[in-house]
Structure 1
């Protein structure tokens, strides 16, 4: 990464032009203090530690979750997810840095932890939009929550094409327009209401509609316009990860960055090229430490 690229990222952050998109890999910044799964493989290990699943899905999160849902009930899956992610773990320095940004209109947290919420807890000018499972909340793509964790009641029903069909989109609550920061958790989160998109059937429902953007919150679609995404702790080797990133960043800008220190797979390299994402080949900890450094004061004559 050149100094010019890094300076550009920092300047755009200061102007509120950068949307951080965090994946499970950011949890590794906590080191030994990490108390929740920090990868899909770690999560499936947690889910199957007490519940036996077929060998063919033992290392597949969505497949293992679907088996548990089918044969042990959805409530068993939800309980296992809560046990995996509910902890006293504190936000990392990166989470605290992001929460302190004076201009951060949108923050995407694409994992099930609650560290972003904990980091934002000292503020009152933000809210959340979380993806929800059709299995548990049929007819709804997303729930909105206030900074205190209270569910925002819907002023009007979700708009539908026909009474018996799925909603075309869930209208955003009016109060969301006043939030300085929207925390978007497309996969749900352990807090405040234990909403999780994790099983095969959860994702099938979303993926059938995501190409036309219906599951994405309206404010996300508006805020992303013209802005740049910065991917931290993300990998794009799996199709599901690429699909979500592609659809969330759709119609934004043509310039983005991803911190990816390890060798890329062919699919990852192709994805970065297609989406105009510049790879930053630095350890995540090194990049985040530099990002948190204050901008030098301009020289005076």
Structure 2
């Protein structure tokens, strides 16, 4: 880890707080935020893989890997089974955390939520000036598109209506609400990753709103190449100053390399403590 990125975490958090409150920073949030409290749904990729393993016997190569597990299920039990089991996995609602609620009260042009449970959508439910762009699988839909737009009520809208929203929620991997759209199998991601370098799977409005913005990663892990690739592509053409709340002692070598390569300033402290300070 580059020494110049290991700065005082409290100073960095104050920079993040100022950027979020000014609407000049994009929160890139993962399931680790809600996982600070016990939940009834899987709140990490490994936990989702374990859920699949509870439904069927997985080959060794798919154990612990939700994307490979979903691909195995899709190959032998068809896509409808994958969707049904994903709906079952996320059937219990996850309570809106104080931090999600705090984010919903800020003037943020763009929020990226990388998990399926829908807490950020629920946190925004008290407002009517936001929209969502959600990644979708193209398996069996007969449509040549990578995402769908929804208004605050969960109704499908077009890109122009979504662009008029004050806040755009971007859920690149899909979500349980409003229509149970899930990118989950290896095949889903092969399609996306084939074109993500030229950005077509990322909505133009997301690309516009990220321009010049800083990103702050919270509750996310980047131990898998797929997760790192998504983050790199979503960050393109943004600011050159980004932040991540992490526990350095638990990072894999690839995670450390990713943070280094992307010049992400490390806030090395417990996630719960960091969120409390941001909300203070």
- The TM-score, its normalising length taken from structure 1, stands at 0.87
- Out of 246, 271, 274, which is 2:261 matched to? 274
> Matched residue of 2:156: which SS?
coil
**Higher RCO (CA-CA < 8 Å; seq separation 6+):** 2
Partners of 1:237 and 1:2 in 2: CA distance: 22
- The TM-score, its normalising length taken from structure 2, stands at 0.94
Structure 1 gap ranges (5+):
155-172, 294-301
Instruction: Give structure 1 regions of 4+ aligned residues with deviation exceeding 6 angstroms.
Output: none
Q: Do the aligned partners of residues 77 and 181 (structure 1) sit closer, same or farther apart at CA in structure 2, a change above 3 Å counting?
A: same
User: Is residue 2:92 matched to residue 1:82?
Assistant: no
**Aligned position for 1:240:** 226
Partners of 2:94 and 2:232 in 1: CA distance: 30
Pick which of 190-199 and 271-280 moved more.
271-280
Larger Rg: 1
> Matched residue of 2:95: which SS?
coil
* Superposed displacement of residue 4, structure 1: 3.0
- 1:226-264: per-residue Cα shift (whole Å, max 9, x none)? 101010011112101100000000110100000111422
* Superposed displacement of residue 178, structure 1: 1.7
**Aligned position for 1:98:** 103
> Matched residue of 1:226: which SS?
coil
Give the CA RMSD over aligned residues. 1.2
- Out of 235, 241, 263, which is 1:255 matched to? 241
> Matched residue of 2:19: which SS?
helix
* Superposed displacement of residue 27, structure 1: 2.0
Larger proportion of helix: 2
Give the conservation status (yes or no) of the 8 Å contact 2:113–2:120. Answer: yes
**Aligned position for 1:27:** 34
**Aligned position for 1:62:** 67
* Superposed displacement of residue 2, structure 1: 4.2
Give the conservation status (yes or no) of the 8 Å contact 2:13–2:274. Answer: no
Partners of 1:126 and 1:189 in 2: CA distance: 17
- 1:18-57: per-residue Cα shift (whole Å, max 9, x none)? 100011212212x12x121111110011112122221221
Partners of 2:16 and 2:72 in 1: CA distance: 43
